[in-house]
Chains A and B, each alone.
Chain A
Amino acid sequence: MRYDIGIGHLKTSSTQGDEIKTYALGSCVAVILYDRKTKIAGMIHIALPESAVNTDKAKSLPGYFVDTGLPLLLKEFKELGGDRKTTVIKIAGGSSIMDENKTFDIGKRNGIAVKRYLWKNGLGVMKEDIGGNISRTVSIDVDTGRVLLSNAKDKWEI
């Protein structure tokens, strides 16, 4: 079965045949986990680095922010049986888009915030496809762990 996840949502699965997919990542970042041993997959579609900018939103949709979303994804992934020792972490998205006040690049900051959170928790990104000015649709196949990216023009794998 295919699960399409929207902004601020996450999904984990250990069911063979499942696919988790998210569409048109701009400055948002998808964090994709895959345990190569137990074949468990997880994905989250994050929009902003810090929940402090909107605590109400963080309560209603924690997956929207790096600091509230990633702990949830990691918790769910672990509960399903995911083991960090055999897990590959990939990230995609983070296209260059300036914030409303044009003071910083949201996409870049999202990517950095994800890596910072992971690093502080003893985890790291092994493959990434971030930055630039493209829109990315990303999916993971639970059987194989293959992460496919696409946009209007191309398809590629990371």
Chain B
Amino acid sequence: MTEENIKEAMIKTIESVFSDMVFIDTLHIEKSPENFDYTQILYIDIISPSNGYIIAYLPLDLRKTIVETIHSTDWDEMHASEIDDCLLEILNVIAGNFMTELLGRGAKYNISFPAVNYDEEDIEQLDKSQEIYFSAEGPIFRINVLLNS
């Protein structure tokens, strides 16, 4: 399990989950954008076979597009809890699909419940994770992934 494997599996997972669940065409961006703004991060722990995490940094305009598409409702008409639940379910699906993509369908793994996190400082080993940027038909978002071997 190399950093390259992990990155490839994440790129494939994001592209397929976004196209099948959120109906947005995503493309991996090799170069980090100069200005990347976000207000909220979504976090999920990977427990086994090795520990790590996946973090999604989604800008507000993209969060709106995602939630409005999935629920087919106006963002303003939705409760904060519904919005969080929607985004966390997507992260949950990303995490499951990522582990299957990385380890194959024959491997066992365990992940935690996803959570909304407002403070990056609480996350350990953030500097060790890989930053992967995507374009979602315009808006840019980032996924950080770490899997300790």
Contacts and interface: CB of A to CB of B under 8 A. Distances in A.
Interface stretch (B17-25, B51-59, B76-84, B140-148): B17-25
A116 B72 contact: no
B23 A109 contact: no
A45 to B, nearest CB: 20
Nearest to A117: B23
Interface string B119-138: 00000000000000000010
Contact of A119 (B25, B27, B69, B137): B69
Given A104-B27, A109-B25, A112-B25, A120 B19 contact: no
B30 to A, nearest CB: 13
A41 to B, nearest CB: 25
A115 B25 CA distance: 11
Contacts of A105: 25
Interface in B7-65: 19, 23-25, 27
Interface string A113-138: 10110011110000000000000000
- DSSP majority for the A interface? helix
B34 to A, nearest CB: 18
A120 B72 contact: yes
B25 A108 contact: yes
Interface residues of B, number: 8
Interface residues of A, number: 14
Choose among A103, A105, A116, A121 the residue with the greatest number of B CB atoms under 10 Å from its CB. A116
Choose among B25, B27, B72, B137 the residue with the greatest number of A CB atoms under 10 Å from its CB. B25
A98 to B, nearest CB: 11
Contacts of B69: 116, 119-120
A21 B18 CA distance: 31
Contacts of B27: 103-104
Contact of B23 (A103, A116, A121, A122): A116
Nearest to A110: B25
A121 B23 CA distance: 13
Contacts of B137: 109
Nearest to A111: B19
Contacts of A103: 27
Given A109-B137, A116-B23, 11 more contacts: A103-B27, A104-B27, A108-B19, A108-B25, A109-B25, A111-B19, A112-B23, A112-B24, A112-B25, A119-B23, A119-B69
